[in-house]
Structure 1
Amino acid sequence: MDTDALTPGLLQDLRRNRPYPALSLTMPTHRKAPDNAQDAVRLRNLVAEAGNRLESDPRVTREAGAAVKAQLDRAVEEVDQRRALDSLVILADADEYQIWQLPRTAPERVVLSDSYLTRNLVAAKAGARLFWVLGFSAEHATLFSGTNEGLRAEKRGGFPLSAPHEEPNPQREERIGDTPSTYSSEDTRNFLRTVDEALRGVMAADPRPLFLVGLPQALSLLDEVGESAKPAVGRVAKGTTADTTAPELLKEVSPALEDWRAQAAAEIRSRFDNARSSRSFAGGLDEVWLAVREGRAGLIAIEEHFATTVRVTDGHLEPAGPDATPDTDGQVREDIVDELVEAALDNGCEVSFVADDSLAVHGRIAAVLRF
């Protein structure tokens, strides 16, 4: 699965307690040759490590270990290396497996626990800056899921939708004096009410910024008949059809996307300026990590490709040497940034990823404090 499939409901399910052992396997991957040639070997080695861990763990019965290993093997057979992004996450227990390919790197790791490791999934979703695009007219409505990687059509919440077609009724046309225009007909109003209801369900289950693409009459009527589209962050007055492809729609919506991203970046800069003047600012990984742990962070901003390995010493984070690994030192954290992102979101903190080098003077990460 891809990052945009991680809905709040699915994340809650992944985090629930499971019969031990629930296995989480993570590893970095490569998008292109020749670097991707090493991915299959690395995965094979990690699967072998997982098998050894299952066999040697005294808490794992032979039956449970065999069941988890069988699910892991099925997952490995299904991995499509042609779709590789920056990391691979495989989750498996005795009854199921899931495969996640993420646009954010993750370290090599095999974890046995009573729940799945979700920090890399959560951080990847936050970094992807997900959004919805609705392309619609009087005849159709198609929902697209957007990430930094592009758009793809979604079959969710009843989408795609098509207006019901009725045979022309000359007697009705005579009674009303003329054929009504498309966007003044009750049939169109009813169809867009259906679109509004479906959109409301999607936004409730997975809230994201929303972009609308349609003719001016369609945009106006959707606002008139419902409420779901009114908070849209971008509107593009351009006609679409049921056959409009994701690349075609992305081309139309790109200027609105760039405006939204620029406004979001400007708002973050303004909030950090105010925080510095009011002494409610934290900069650097250690300061931000402490603020998140104490629940004091209201907003954190992180450079998109910031990653580092640290050692926890006396309650603080220090850079770890190149030879430090979690296997040799339980205080070493290879994906501390992902761990911090997950903890921040759990505490109700806003998380925003910003351009590389934009926070260089603050150690690549900064926070606005609540108190």
Structure 2
Amino acid sequence: MERNLLKIIRNQVDYPNVSILLTTHKTAPDNNQDAMILKKLSKEAERRLKEEFSKRDISELIEKIQKTVSSIDVRQNLDGLAVFVNKNFEKVVRLPFPVRERVIIDKSFAVRDLIRAINRGINYYVLSLSAGFVRLFEAYRDKFSEITEGGFPYANPFPRGTNLEESTSWKESRLREFFHMVDKSLMQIQHQHPMQMVVAGVERNIALYREVTGMEENILLTIEGNYDNTSPHELALIVWPEVKERMAEKRRHVLNMLDEAMGKKRLVTGIDEVWKLAVQGRGELLVVEEDYQQAAKVSKNGNTIDLVDDLGVPGTANDLVDDIAETVVSTGGRVVFAENGSLSRHNHIALVLKY
């Protein structure tokens, strides 16, 4: 998920903005049902629009939704799909994880899952180094797919002489140059789709790569070993447990941050208080359980909310949590999604304040 795409979608403030989200499938025959579910959800969006607007006011938007949905090629699906449509904008975003099936009609698009795609950290690159060639994989949890663009897999262009002709310093100089070339190509890919990465290889190669990389801050962890002939599946079995543990460490760190913020009286919890401080631009870090959702009616001045049970009631914010996440990001804060149940003592949502 590209951050600039998130910004573009967030900036589409209009009413009605229609968001359609669903879990999809990568392969046949499972992805055949995706088209049927998508059609069902688009019909739901049409029904709800007709209940709230006159036929004349909404006919163009309904036609646009139908056209956008019919253009989607389910053979290209990943694990989740988000469709965003208003009278002036349409965008289809494929997501690398399943999402909760829903239709949201609001003044802004439902970007929670897009924010999650960027910040959750379970999508990552794996750079497998060797002296002769470098492979690059895109990973979601333990699912690996090799990238075959941007020069990858990247073969070392420098000829290799005999051991007598090559001193250690000469070989290392050549390797540094090779890894620098690899790093420049990887930077282009990172620019289009920024993610953290795991660097795998023998100790010497990892050390040389870290000397020349311009993306040290993107390295999540390193794994030592010779993986020249390791299949993507076998590499996933090695890498994913390490990444999973690192993610668990980060989650524990975030929960500790909440405790520290509480001690400094810089923490608010519960959706009422979190909303109030978020709209004031005071949110530094929002931590929310992945599936927590709450509909609400927001006052005209935006300062008070009235929680409701029905997500489909016209005039409500279908998912106030989504609005809060969008507000925090737009005012310079961060959003972290926690496991369901891990924030029960904070009523499922907590906000660390800037001051």
**TM-score between the two structures when normalised by the length of structure 1:** 0.75
The corresponding residue for 1:247 is 233
Sort the Cα spacing of 1:333 and 1:301 in 2 relative to 1 into closer, same or farther, 3 A.
Answer: same
Match of 1:141 among 117, 120, 134: 134
Secondary structure in structure 2 of the residue aligned to 1:307: coil
Cα gap change, 1:283 to 1:157, in 2 (>3 Å): farther
Match of 1:103 among 95, 98, 116: 98
Distance in 1 between residues matched to 2:232 and 2:119, nearest whole Å: 21
Counterpart-to-counterpart distance in 2, 1:204 and 1:195? 14
CA distance in 2, matches of 1:218, 1:359: 41
2:243 equivalent in structure 1: 257
Q: Is 1:209–2:202 an aligned residue pair?
A: no
Cα deviation code 1:240-263 (max 9, x no counterpart)? 22x644332222223431342233
SS of the aligned residue for 1:325 comes to coil
- 1 CA distance for matches of 2:170 and 2:145? 28
Q: Which of 325, 341, 349 matches 1:365?
A: 349
Query: Normalization by structure 2: what TM-score?
Result: 0.78
Question: Paired residue for 1:26?
Answer: 20
Matched residue count: 343
User: Which residue identity lines up with residue 70 of structure 1 in the other structure?
Assistant: K
Q: Distance in 2 between matches of 1:51 and 1:320?
A: 22
Give the alignment's Cα RMSD to 1 decimal: 4.0
Native 8 Å contact 1:298 1:349 kept in 2: yes
1:320-349 CA-partner distances (Å, limit 9, x unpaired):
134x523xx30x233222222222122221
CA drift of 1:275 comes to 1.0
* Residues 98-126 of structure 1: per-residue CA shift (max 9 Å, x gap): 35355231522467x8xx83514424414
For residues 278 and 354 of structure 2, the distance between their equivalents in structure 1, rounded to whole angstroms, comes to 10
Pair member with larger Rg: 1
Q: Deviations over 1:50-90 (max 9, x none)?
A: 668699343766xx976764343222xx2259x574x5322
- Per-residue CA shift, 1:173-204, capped at 9, x if unaligned? 6xx94345698254323211101222334445
Preserved CA contact (<8 Å) 2:22 2:81: yes
Counterparts in 2 of 1:22 and 1:308: CA distance versus 1, 3 Å: closer
Which residue number in structure 2 is paired with residue 117 of structure 1?
109
Work out whether residues 344 and 351 of structure 1, in 8 Å CA contact, stay in contact via their aligned partners in 2. Answer: yes
Deviation at 1:23, TM superposition (A): 7.2
Q: Please list every run of 5 or more consecutive structure 1 residues that lacks an aligned counterpart in the other structure.
A: 1-5
Q: How far apart are residue 278 of structure 1 and its match?
A: 1.1
Task: Look up the SS of the partner of 1:105 in the other structure.
Answer: coil
In the alignment, structure 1 residue 44 sits paired with structure 2 residue 39? yes
Percent of paired sites with the same residue: 22
**Does 2:55 align with 1:56?**
yes
Question: Closer, same or farther in 2 for the Cα pair 1:258/1:227, shift >3 Å?
Answer: same
Partner of 2:296: 310
Secondary structure, counterpart of 2:39 in structure 1:
helix
Which blocks of at least 5 consecutive residues in structure 2 are unaligned?
Answer: none
Q: Which residue of 1 aligns with 2:185?
A: 198
2:307 pairs, out of 297, 319, 337, with: 319
One-letter amino acid matched to 1:266:
R
Alignment of 1:266-281 (within 5 A): 266-281=252-267
